[in-house]
């Protein structure tokens, strides 16, 4: 039983969970208290200044994949239709109606909103759900008996369960502090300040949607060639047909696939792929080319940044060096970003429960239906690592309504042992 769930970051996932909890509470169902600890502001990563965008670029997924999507709650047998109906009141379309923009959006052909508009939507839901936010950056996570303690510089928050969200920090770079090397955050800061980038040979490290969004911006600047560096054989286009999308909205058949099949689906649809829209609009430009390899390191020499790449060729590791005038490190998103926050007591607990060091693979394979590490108490929910075992939509925006069912309900069918009437403040689940 969880009385209080603390969420690191007041982003899309925290808002979705708070929205579902608020609707359940309105229906008289006892739910845990949700508290988000946020270092900047609600939906900060979707706005200029958050380090991941200038706010003007557009959402890749449909905005109808909003906090309640796919509107197929299973958490409250007998009352799920009513719950979905209530969640519709917090939908993307309800937001447009509430802010007088619905008809225009439809008449314009339902365009993808900018990241900034999406942040506006998340803030609107957060306010409607009365999301409780503690301001501060979580710098350490420790244990106190059966409780988690989240430490910020000034505060501590105690909770029965913790959920980690967000893509990590956008200020990593292959050569920190060098003026010819930009992190994701530095790149977007320049873009937001309308500073023009002027360079002959530019490299963008990373072949995923973060890099795609940066390419979209980079094309407006004065650059002669852009080399995208990624380990994949080429710049793959994301599979976006009904069959692929369906796996993200509805992971029912996911567990029937072998791990190899799941990894294959994720490689085609999620990791290091560009959306068809990006491929159409950008990659036709003859300034762009692809270089296969993993960046080993970078050094400054003779006015250029020399990047050393490792490539596997028929079992042998090949090392090549390439020179650029400007390098933009777009490889920032890291689902293990929270590991340095863990106190030694937490590391010890996790390593004992997981039978070994905290590798990505070990953590991913230990995630249960409630998106928490199965053997660990108090609960540690890691939705960003749950794609492989629970379904590819959980780390992103593809099924936030299902995510909140799993987090609050605790099971693969999302069903909670909730009572449908509140009894003396007695919490019955999670």
Ligand X SMILES: Cc1cc2nc3c(=O)[nH]c(=O)nc-3n(C[C@H](O)[C@H](O)[C@H](O)COP(=O)(O)OP(=O)(O)OC[C@H]3O[C@@H](n4cnc5c(N)ncnc54)[C@H](O)[C@@H]3O)c2cc1C
Residue nearest to ligand X (CB): 11
**Cα–Cα distance list, 276 to 142, 208, 263 (Å):** 43, 12, 20
Termini Cα distance of the chain: 5
Q: At its nearest, how many Å lie between ligand X and the CB of residue 315?
A: 34
**CB atoms < 10 A from the CB of 361, how many?**
10
| CA 146/CA 182 separation, integer angstroms | 42
Q: With respect to ligand X, which residue has the nearer C-beta, 8 or 96? A: 8
Instruction: Mark out the alpha helices in 100-157 (DSSP H runs).
Output: 102-107, 115-128
**Residue 14 C-beta: closest distance to ligand X, Å:** 6
Q: What is the dihedral of CA 35, 335, 187, 63, to 10 degrees?
A: -60
Q: How far is the CB of 248 from ligand X (least distance, A)?
A: 8
Residue among 184 and 309 whose Cβ is closer to ligand X: 184
Work out the burial of residue 239: count CB atoms within 10 Å of its CB; fewer than 13 is exposed, 13-18 middle, 19 or more buried.
middle
* Least distance (Å) between residue 147 CB and ligand X: 18
100 vs 340 by CB, closer to ligand X: 340
Q: Compare residues 216 and 308 and give the one whose CB is closer to ligand X.
A: 216
Task: Give the shortest CB-44-to-ligand X separation in angstroms.
Answer: 4
Residues within the interface to ligand X (CB under 6 A): 8-14, 37-40, 44-45, 52-53, 59-61, 137-138, 165-167, 209-210, 213, 396-398
Nearest distance in Å: CB 66, ligand X: 11
Rounded CA-CA distance 235/204 in Å is: 13
- 3-class SS of residue 151: strand
Our CB check for ligand X shows the closer of 30 and 122 to be: 122
The number of angstroms, rounded, from the C-alpha of 343 to the middle of its chain's C-alpha atoms is: 23
- The residue (of 266 and 300) whose beta carbon lies closer to ligand X is 266
* The two structure tokens encoding residue 249: 């909205």
């Amino acid at each position: 039983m969880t009385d209080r769930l603390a969420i690191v970051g007041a982003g899309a996932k925290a808002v979705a969970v708070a929205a579902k909890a608020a609707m359940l509470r309105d229906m008289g169902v006892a739910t845990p208290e949700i508290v988000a600890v946020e270092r900047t502001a609600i939906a900060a990563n979707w706005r200029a200044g958050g380090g991941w965008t200038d706010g003007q670029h557009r959402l890749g997924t449909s905005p109808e994949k909003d906090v309640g999507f796919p509107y197929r709650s299973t958490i409250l047998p007998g009352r799920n239709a009513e719950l979905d109906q209530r969640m519709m009141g917090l939908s993307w379309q309800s937001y447009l109606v509430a802010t007088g923009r619905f008809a225009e959006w439809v008449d314009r052909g339902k365009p993808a909103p900018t990241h900034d508009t999406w942040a506006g939507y998340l803030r609107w839901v957060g306010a409607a759900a009365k999301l409780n936010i503690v301001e501060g950056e979580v710098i350490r996570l420790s244990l106190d008996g059966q409780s988690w303690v989240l430490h910020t510089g000034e505060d501590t928050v105690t909770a029965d369960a913790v959920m980690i969200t967000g893509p990590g920090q956008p200020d990593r770079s292959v050569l920190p502090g060098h003026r010819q090397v930009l992190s994701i955050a530095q790149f977007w800061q320049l873009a937001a300040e309308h500073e023009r980038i002027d360079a002959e040979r530019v490299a963008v490290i990373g072949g995923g949607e973060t890099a795609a969004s940066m390419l979209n911006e980079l094309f407006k600047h004065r650059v002669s060639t852009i080399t995208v560096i990624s380990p994949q054989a080429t710049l793959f286009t994301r599979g976006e047909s009904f069959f692929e999308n369906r796996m993200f909205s509805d992971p029912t058949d996911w567990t029937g696939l072998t791990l190899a099949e799941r990894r294959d689906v994720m490689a085609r649809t999620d990791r290091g792929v560009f959306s068809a829209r990006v491929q159409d609009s950008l990659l036709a430009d003859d300034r762009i080319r692809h270089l296969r390899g993993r960046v080993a390191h970078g050094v400054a020499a003779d006015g250029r940044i020399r990047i050393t790449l490792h490539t596997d060729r028929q079992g042998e590791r090949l090392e090549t060096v390439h020179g650029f005038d400007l390098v933009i490190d777009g490889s920032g998103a890291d689902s293990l970003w929270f590991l340095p926050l863990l106190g030694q007591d937490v590391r010890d607990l996790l390593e004992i429960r997981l039978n070994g060091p905290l590798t990505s693979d070990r953590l991913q394979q230990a995630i249960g239906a409630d998106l928490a590490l199965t053997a660990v108490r108090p609960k540690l929910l890691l939705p960003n690592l749950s794609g492989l075992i629970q379904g590819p939509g959980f780390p992103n925006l593809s099924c936030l309504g299902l995510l909140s069912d799993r987090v609050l309900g605790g099971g693969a069918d999302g069903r909670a042992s909730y009572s449908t009437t509140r009894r003396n403040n007695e919490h019955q689940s999670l």
